[in-house]
Amino acid sequence: MSTLQYPRQERINASPRWDGTRFRNTSQVPRGDPSVSMPSMSEFICGGDRRVPQKPLPSLNPLDTWTRAVGSGLRATWLGHSTVLIEIDGYRVLTDPVWGPRASPSRFIGPKRFQPVPVAIRELPPLDAVIVSHDHYDHLDYTTMRAMRRMSVPIITSLGVGSHLESFGIAPERIVELDWWESYRLPESDLTLHAAPSHHFSGRGLKDGNKTLWSSFVVQSPRHRVFFSGDTGPTAEHAEIRARLGPFDLVMLEVGAWHPAWGNIHLGPANALAAHTLLGGGPLLPVHWGTFNLALHAWDDPVETLLQLAPNTSSRLILPRLGQPVEPAQEFSITPWWRGVDVKAPSARHGSTRMPKAMPFPPD
């Protein structure tokens, strides 16, 4: 019997990451820059400069492009935050789908979407798999999952997250839960999804912290491999991921919602570039920005900082508009399409949050 067929709690108990009461990261690390204080609740609610754009960002409708064949075999469409439609050698995989209005347990309070999704969920083409990296509200969305109840597509997720999906009405037979380094091959296909380490945490309430696992994922076909970070801070395991599952034709790394005091749970731009190096390079598509106000930095700080830092590295950035399908194998010219939204000049587009030093991986 496959380990995936054992009862959920039995598999959780057997996980090397489970300590008997909760999941833990491989390395214990400091909370970030010790010279920077943790933001207070009032600062998080009211502090920071330019945390949302003055108007919606420009976006494209990808529906016509999705009907056309993918010449290179690999195409990606960023739909906002960490939601990306990956077209890989005839298969379609959707990452962390979030169409809901808030990244919150409440319909009335909590981080509100400032950028609409370029397409309605009902307009999506037929999917072969959906990835849910972990259970935070900006990655696992109740509204979206309720809409997906009527679909037959399998949902590949981290160990324990299936309990949330079932409570949302997703049929258990559609749910595949993976521990790190476990893999799932879609039936009657040559598409495999691998769960891999990340450095983060989980929980949707006050009492369920780290009761479910968090993961990065690799999507593999016979011709291509794509890395999706989910949420992560710096970790030496990015090098191990490269050794075991690379090289990658596309790397999608989170760059937004960071703070120097949170250095171990999100990358931010500098650490994303360091992680990209550990992963072995490949075209870099930044995600986890441009949709929700989840930190104190300016909404465009992640991408503007990437533009400043990337020329000093070997990273090849891909920065498409929302809804713009791109093939990583093709040449891509970077145009700062987001700069026309606000009236301030790009040189003034950084909030008061100090840029942390890059950490290639956290200390033990």
- The candidate with the shortest Cα–Cα distance to 59, out of 322, 338, 239, is 322
What is the pLDDT, as a whole number, of residue 46? 67
Q: Which helix (H) or strand (E) holds 248?
A: none
Give the C-alpha separation, 297 to 162, whole Å.
33
Give the C-alpha separation, 60 to 177, whole Å.
33
What is the pLDDT, as a whole number, of residue 39? 74
Q: Where are the domains of the chain?
A: 3-16+51-348
Phi and psi at residue 286, in whole multiples of 5°?
-75, 135
User: How does pLDDT run across 8-56, given as a tens digit for each residue?
Assistant: 999 999 999 999 999 999 987 656 677 777 777 777 666 678 999 999 9
- What is the phi-psi region of residue 100: left when phi exceeds 0, alpha when psi lies from -120 to 50, beta otherwise? beta
What is the pLDDT, as a whole number, of residue 28? 77
Give the C-alpha separation, 94 to 156, whole Å.
10
Buried b or exposed e, range 213-226, using 16+ CB within 10 angstroms: bbbbbbbbbeebbb
Task: Flag whether the pTM goes above 0.85.
Answer: yes
What is the pLDDT, as a whole number, of residue 5? 61
Are residues 95 and 131 in contact, defined by beta-carbon separation less than 8 angstroms?
A: yes
Q: Which helix (H) or strand (E) holds 113?
A: none
In the chain, which residues have pLDDT < 70? 1-3, 5, 29-32, 44-47, 263, 344-364
What is the pLDDT, as a whole number, of residue 6? 73
**What is the residue type of 36?**
V
CA dihedral (222, 226, 231, 233) positive or negative: positive
The token duo for 48 is 């920071």
**What is the residue type of 331?**
E
SS3 content of the chain, % helix, strand, coil (to 5): 25, 20, 60
User: Is CATH 2.70.160.11 the right assignment for the domain spanning 3-16+51-348?
Assistant: no
Pairing relationship of beta strands 216-220 and 225-228 according to DSSP bridges: antiparallel
Are residues 181 and 244 in contact, defined by beta-carbon separation less than 8 angstroms?
A: yes
Question: In the block, which residue shows the tokens 């959920």?
Answer: 8
Q: Report CA-CA distances (Å) from 58 to 29, 90, 205.
A: 38, 28, 34
What is the pLDDT, as a whole number, of residue 258? 84
DSSP state of 227: E
What is the pLDDT, as a whole number, of residue 169? 97
What is the pLDDT, as a whole number, of residue 315? 95
Alpha helices in the chain (DSSP H): 8-14, 41-46, 63-66, 142-147, 162-167, 237-245, 268-278, 301-309
